[in-house]
Amino acid sequence: MTDAAALPGQPRGAVAGPATARAVNVLAPNPSAMTLDGTNTWLVAEPGSELAVVIDPGPLDEGHLRAVVATAEAAGRRIGLTLLTHGHADHAEGAARFAELTGTTVRALDPALRLGDEGLGAGDVVTIGGLELRVVPTPGHTSDSLSFHLPADRAVLTGDTVLGRGTTMVAHPDGRLGEYLDSLRRLHSLTTDDGVSTVLPGHGPVLDDAQGALEFYLAHRSARLDQVRAAVEAGVTEPGEVVALVYAAVDRSLWPAAELSVRAQLEYLLGG
């Protein structure tokens, strides 16, 4: 058995439940190769406050959405706001129904995902019930990807930009590798400049070494890019063939997602 402390980011053993003084994960029942244990729906509130924020209600699963509401109520709280890290269905499909259940607005970067007049953008600070969340633009996985800095817990909620286990894909053509690398560097700067030590990801366990996780992600992306560059120099430029060459050791069920990342890498290298 591998010691979690030896793994990138120092992942915790448990996925669901309390993660920090302010954040609790209500795990959605949608595990898969792409979603790992399922989607992490984050319930975040200031200690002692009657109001909570939910980040990523998850899929359109009535049982899960009601479980999120019940978790808040069991803590003596009501949900006052819903936020989205990005628009992929496993994070956002349930948002409209969740808004009905809770009477909340839904704030997101993409206007098509919003319910209410307010969106989200770089530099925004969301405050509710004494809680403060700072919006960090992290495009790359998707063009609308956001992270949320929770300074009081020295934590950042990353959606799919950083996962609790493994690495994420760049969802070409909407996602772009150059933007993704910039986003990883932006998150890394939170660990060096703002004291962020914990990653609360959209899938998988909490990471207790945020800086180590970001450094691993950056190194991994650099290594993959070098492999794709070598393939191109050898004349292999068709995305499926690059996947078979570069991702040969990866489970074939993940090859379609790998191909999206490869297309983003090829675009980055070839300037397309």
In angstroms, the Cα distances linking 254 to 14, 125, 189, 245, 246 are 24, 36, 30, 14, 13
pLDDT tens sequence across 205-257: 999 999 999 999 999 999 999 999 999 999 988 989 999 998 888 888 888 88
Taking the model in full, what pTM does it have?
A: 0.94
Give the lowest-confidence range in 65-74, 100-109, 235-244.
235-244
Residues 6+ apart with CB under 8 A from 97: 57, 60, 62, 65
Torsion sign over Cα 228, 231, 233, 237: negative
pLDDT for residue 132 = 98
Give how far Cα 107 sits from Cα of 83, 123, 211, Å.
Answer: 5, 14, 28
Model confidence at 1, in pLDDT bands (50, 70, 90)?
Answer: very low
Q: Which two tokens stand for residue 249?
A: 């050791």
The pLDDT of residue 119 is above 90? yes
For residue 18, pLDDT beyond 90: yes
Q: What is the number of helices (H) and of strands (E) in the chain?
A: 7, 11
Quick one: average pLDDT of 28-57? 97
Q: How far apart are the C-alpha atoms of 72 and 158, rounded to whole Å? A: 21
Note whether 122 and 159 are within 8 A (CB). no
Task: Indicate left, alpha or beta for 81 from its phi (over 0: left) and psi (-120 to 50: alpha).
Answer: beta
Average pLDDT taken over every residue of the chain: 94
Q: How far is CA 79 from CA 55, 61, 111, 232, in A?
A: 11, 18, 22, 50
Per-residue pLDDT tens digits for 258-272: 899 899 999 998 875
Q: What is the separation, in whole angstroms, between the first and last Cα of the chain? A: 44
Residue whose structure tokens are 């244990």:
37
Contact 207, 199 (CB under 8 A): yes
**Helices assigned H by DSSP within the chain:** 62-74, 89-92, 95-102, 177-193, 210-233, 239-246, 255-270
